[in-house]
Amino acid sequence: MKDKIISILAGFETENTGKSFPMEYCLPVYHCVSDEDLPHIRHIIQYKNTKQFEEDLDYLSKHFQFINWSEFKDFVNGSFKPAKKIALLTFDDGFREFYDIVLPVLERKGIYACNFVNPAFIDNRELMFRCKASLIAEASQKAKTLNPEVYRMLSLENPSKEAFRQQVLNIRYHQREILDKLTEKLEIDCEMYLREHSPYLTTDQLKTLTQKGYGISSHSWDHPKYGELSLQEQMESTNRTFSYLKENGFIYESFAFPFTDFGVKKDFFDELFKNEEIFCSFGSAGAKLDSVERNFHRIPMEMGESGEQTIKKETAYFRLKKMINKNKIVRR
């Protein structure tokens, strides 16, 4: 019902999105762009193809002024006065397609982007637990039958391939050893997959991107959901990543939450900003305000809709929430 109401309201949004957009900044976030079937992410991310991505960029360029990291900092500090509302393009997870597919598009269009990466996966040393879940889901779809043992491993009361798939995709960070057991049982060789497909960026590629003027920054060490971690675990993952960024000459002034910042309490931000080198953090709650002034929310662009539809729905939803004073996240 909520989605239907938002879709109806979005239909009334004007063509001039830049003027009607309720915030002074628009922060779109993507993970991957590809024209190919990618088994390690196809079950967890509705990534766009090249044509869809370029259409999004053209739409955003028409209504917003794309800026770079330095300009974004100046904008926040009040020393950069853009001609239009700004857009800072961001990517998460450091997938290889950012270098192979996204970079040529951005260079051709003259658009900056910052990629928030997990150092644990750079150089294809390890596969993120959600990507393992996607490979397992892919294997279960293709298999004629599944070994009854894998159903028992998940304690499924009503075993079926679809129930198995859904359960696998719901496995959390702290349960990730279950995925390793399942890949072994299903004879999925993640090490070989990493060698053959190289799903992640390499250190050399990250440094080339930096030399070309693009941003590389922090997305935690290995992509846990921060709302499920203790404060100590949150800071260990965060600080370890900042050390990596500093050592390699990347942007160590910002942090983008993996998954979401939902459930993250004020004490994390208090601890984070004790480090005076940290300029800001990024959530992904869409067009939304935050009681932590230096936590900026990004708009997920891979929801199965065009960029235009996404932005208009975010605008409509912001206005609807504003009527009941619910468009600001309050941390306690």
Alpha helices in the chain (DSSP H): 2-10, 17-20, 50-63, 69-77, 97, 103-109, 129-142, 148-153, 161-169, 177-185, 190-197, 203-211, 231-248, 266-272, 307-323
In degrees and rounded to multiples of 5, residue 282 shows phi and psi of -130, 125
Q: What is the pLDDT of residues 123-140, one digit of tens each?
A: 999 999 999 999 999 999
End position of a domain, from candidates 150, 175, 194: 194
Residues 246, 156 share a domain = no
201: three-class secondary structure by DSSP: coil
**Which pLDDT tens digit goes with each residue over 16-60?**
788 899 999 999 999 999 999 999 999 999 999 999 999 999 999
Residues 173 and 89 reside in one and the same domain: no
State whether 59 and 185 are in the same domain: no
Which residue among 158, 179, 194 closes a domain? 194
- What tokens does 203 get? 């250190």
Per residue in 79-108, pLDDT (tens digit) is: 999 999 999 999 999 999 999 999 999 999
The last residue of a domain, from among 147, 172, 194: 194
In terms of domains, do 97 and 140 share one? no
The domain that holds 259 is classified in CATH as 3.20.20.370
The reply to whether 64 and 182 lie within a common domain is no
Residues 134 and 122 placed together within one structural domain of the fold: no
**Mean of pLDDT over the chain:** 95
Tell me the pLDDT band of 322, cut-offs 50, 70 and 90: confident
Q: What is the spatial distance between Cα 282 and Cα 226, in angstroms, rounded to a whole number?
A: 13
What is the residue range of 158's domain?
Answer: 129-194
The string of DSSP letters for 112-146 reads: -EEEEE-TTTGGG----HHHHHHHHHHHHHH-SS-
Number of domains in the chain: 2
Whether residue 223 sits in one domain with residue 92: yes
Output the six-digit token pair for 265: 């309490």
Do 104 and 224 lie in one domain? The reply is yes
Do residue 11 and residue 122 come from a single domain?
A: yes
User: Does the global pTM surpass 0.85?
Assistant: yes
Please determine, for residue 174, whether its predicted confidence score (pLDDT) is greater than 60.
yes
131 CB contacts (<8 Å, ≥6 apart)? 40, 41, 44, 199
CB 115 within 8 A of CB 94: yes
Assess whether 91 and 15 both reside in one domain: yes
> Burial of 216 by CB count in 10 Å (0-12 exposed, 13-18 middle, 19+ buried)?
buried
